[in-house]
Amino acid sequence: MISKKHKPLKKELSLFHVYAIAAGTTLSAGFFLLPGLAAVESGPALPLVYLIAAIPLIPAMFSIVELATAMPRAGGVYYFLDRTLGPMIGTIGGFGTWAALVLKVSFALIGMGAYMKLFFPEIEIIPIAIIIALILGLLSLFGAQKSGRLQSLLVSALIFILLLFIGGGVPEINKIHFDNFLASGWNSVFSAAGLVYISYVGITKIASLSEEVKNPERNIPLGIFLALGTAIVIYLIGTTIMVGVIPMEILKGDLTPVATAGKYIFGKTGVILFSVAALFAFISVANGGTLSASRYPLALSRDHLLPRYFLKLSKWGTPVFSILATVTTIVIILLLLDPTGIAKLASAFQLMVFSFICLAVIIIRESKLEAYDPGFKSPLYPWMQISGIILPFILIFQMGMMPLLFSLGLISIGVLWYLFYGKSKVVRTGAIYHLFERLGRLRYDGLDTELRGILKEKGLRENDPFDEIVTRSYVIDLEKKKSFEDVVKNASVWISQFIDQTSTEIENLFLEGTRMGATPVTHGIALPHLRLKGLQQAEMVIVRAAEGVHIKFRNPLTDFEEDEQDVHAIFFLISSEKDPTQHLRILAQIAGRVEEEGFEEEWRNAVDEQELKEALIHEDRCLSIIVDADEKTASLIGKALKEIRFPEGCLVAMLRRRGITIVPKGNTVLEDGDRLTIIGEPKGMKDLKKQFD
């Protein structure tokens, strides 16, 4: 069964929040703890180890970014796997990734102990770790923005201190320490790379928060790429400094290598300063991990794979029971288990999930779902994904039998939960069934519908010509009740001028689409639409029907049973076959606009076609100005449009003069009483309002 419409999480995370969470969950144990352990195997080749370790992450990173910009939903990896490979794989990915995350948060909190014991040898780290876990959970309850702000502060302070480390450390590097660079051999280098690979996996955890990211198509890719670039630079330069200033016999096995390097560079001050940085890093990864992990129970609950009370949101719009369950589990692990060893085992499971994610991109791309519309597409497809499927398993087998057995255990838990709890509640499959048409009876058409809903939430892209399409559209304003067939005939006559097809052929295509269930009809609105070969640009016919238009259609919400309704607005959209996703985004924009509060009244009260068009364009992208001799706009009288300096990106789309709509041109001279409709970016609209208010 398809889930009921859920309440979306608030979009509170900016680009810097994305960067801070991705970077903060990466620069922790990998930098402050693991270099000493990796040096045991690699020797002076430690910087090379960190460079090699980043390579297997790249295919998974590109794949996750692509999926996150197409489907920005809470649960990240779970949601992607569920919607592509089906709910059983999704359940495995969801439970396993959540478990791996809470173990790594616990590990990070315990990891602080090595640095704290430098100053307080008798301190008990478990009680402190539990207190920090509870504080971070409380912050998460107050909203992603609050945790994001803490993350931003922690990461800003951390990077500032690390820049001091780099600035002071580079001049102190002793080149002699790099003699016999590859003395340990390539096998040892690759083995050490498998150990430090976990340093980078936090970079992708932001995907589980993608539903809460503002402008996800821009901010998710940019934030992740900037975070990865930061991590690679700091790891390479930082480990070079460690090898260059610490004698190898001391570096090998050192659990506080940054503090040790700080002692060689700045003396006791360096030990204190870089121990503080380590605390910032471990708290940062714990904060980002808690925030990310708490979205998995919410996502599983939305899809009926966990009890529905995990859906409950607090008054701050956060998943209260998901956060409580996550924090409680972290506390139990801290009290009863040794998270240090188990967290390392969880890395093998994450590698396996990354392999599935690369497969998911191949599956959903080859399924040819028109509504799959990522803002970022992975380069070198499908070779990037094929390498991403193979490389993780090479690393898993190098890690030994225990990590493999641990991963199989998590898989078994996911399978059993799905079979005994979830299977009876879910009839959803994945995009994989769109790939195999011979399994058509299992095909989940709801996925396409769900992706279309996501398109509506994401909105238009910068180069989508929605405003222009609306302003040049043909308006039919009906005062008397008419049949849908009559309206289609009228609209098709106008549309036929743009395409090498007769009005009758176009009319038949619209009517056939409506009979087949391809015309969305809801809330008194109908959206007949076609993609036509040979069309140069999208066009629209707008119909307002005061007394209604009677329409019969197949309703996809009732298994395509015949339905009928009176509608008061019809939007006929035609687009080129070349860009199906833009066609869907424009449809989604119309659907989203007509559902907004106040649209119906604005539509009903519009006095002419110009006001009807303005009602459809969102107010922050459209401004109506009346040229009046007694107002600020008096300065426009007698000027040609080409002489007027409007804010960048703004243009006069329509001009109404004495009841007649005029197509504005550069040499059109404005007169007293003219009404201008100006479209453009929100910033330009604000500037215009200030200028003429």
Q: Once rounded to an integer, what is the mean pLDDT over residues 339-365?
A: 76
Confidence of residue 458 (pLDDT cuts 50, 70, 90): low
pLDDT higher for 124 or 6? 124
Percent of the chain with pLDDT over 90: 6
Neighbours of 237 (CB within 10 A): 18
**Cα atoms found within 13 Å of the Cα of residue 661, Cβ hemisphere only:** 17
Which pLDDT does position 594 carry in this prediction? 79
Residue 459 has pLDDT above 70, yes or no: no
Which pLDDT does position 216 carry in this prediction? 80
Q: Once rounded to an integer, what is the mean pLDDT over residues 56-63?
A: 88
From 111-115, 361-365, 688-692, the region with the lowest mean pLDDT: 111-115
Q: Which residues of 147-161 are buried (b: 16+ CB within 10 A; e: fewer)?
A: bbbbbbebbeebbeb
Q: Once rounded to an integer, what is the mean pLDDT over residues 228-244?
A: 91
Residue 445 has pLDDT above 60, yes or no: no
pLDDT higher for 209 or 234? 234
Residue 426 has pLDDT above 50, yes or no: yes
Place of tokens 């992450």: 57
Six-digit token pair at 535?
A: 């069309």
Residue 439 has pLDDT above 50, yes or no: no
Confidence of residue 313 (pLDDT cuts 50, 70, 90): confident
Confidence of residue 5 (pLDDT cuts 50, 70, 90): very low
Neighbours of 420 (CB within 10 A): 9
Residue 64 has pLDDT above 80, yes or no: yes
Q: What is the pTM of this model?
A: 0.65
Q: Once rounded to an integer, what is the mean pLDDT over residues 227-245?
A: 91
On whether the CB atoms of residues 239 and 47 are closer than 8 A, the answer is yes
Structural domains in the chain, CATH included, are 15-424 (1.20.1740.10), 462-617 (3.40.930.10), 618-693 (3.30.70.1450)
**Residue range 551-574, pLDDT digits in tens:** 887 766 555 567 788 888 899 998
Confidence of residue 544 (pLDDT cuts 50, 70, 90): very high
Distance CA 238, CA 260 (A): 12
**Residue range 498-536, pLDDT digits in tens:** 888 888 989 998 888 888 777 877 778 888 888 888 888
Per the prediction, the chain carries an average pLDDT of 79
Distance CA 595, CA 462 (A): 22
Q: Once rounded to an integer, what is the mean pLDDT over residues 77-87?
A: 76
Residue 60 has pLDDT above 90, yes or no: no
Q: Once rounded to an integer, what is the mean pLDDT over residues 230-259?
A: 89
Backbone angles phi, psi at 376, to 5 degrees: -130, 130
The winner for highest mean pLDDT among 282-291, 377-386, 449-458 is 377-386
Six-digit token pair at 587?
A: 């449809």
Which pLDDT does position 435 carry in this prediction? 43
Residue 468 has pLDDT above 60, yes or no: yes
> 3-state DSSP call for residue 212?
helix
The winner for highest mean pLDDT among 138-147, 249-258, 463-472 is 249-258
Taking Cα atoms as reference points, which of 621, 659, 596 lies closest to residue 470?
621
Percent of the chain with pLDDT over 70: 86
Which pLDDT does position 436 carry in this prediction? 43
Which pLDDT does position 531 carry in this prediction? 84
Going 202 to 190 to 173 to 115, the CA torsion angle's sign is positive
Distance CA 30, CA 347 (A): 13
**Residue range 119-151, pLDDT digits in tens:** 777 777 788 888 888 887 787 777 655 555 776
Confidence of residue 543 (pLDDT cuts 50, 70, 90): very high
The winner for highest mean pLDDT among 217-221, 235-239, 392-396 is 235-239
Q: Once rounded to an integer, what is the mean pLDDT over residues 91-114?
A: 78
* Element containing residue 573 per DSSP (H, E): strand 561-576
Distance CA 358, CA 366 (A): 13
Q: Which long-range contacts (CB under 8 A, 24 or more apart) does 228-232 make?
A: 228/22, 228/26, 228/54, 228/57, 228/61, 228/200, 228/203, 230/19, 230/23, 230/27, 230/159, 231/23, 231/26, 231/27, 231/30, 231/54, 231/199, 231/200, 231/203, 232/50, 232/51, 232/54
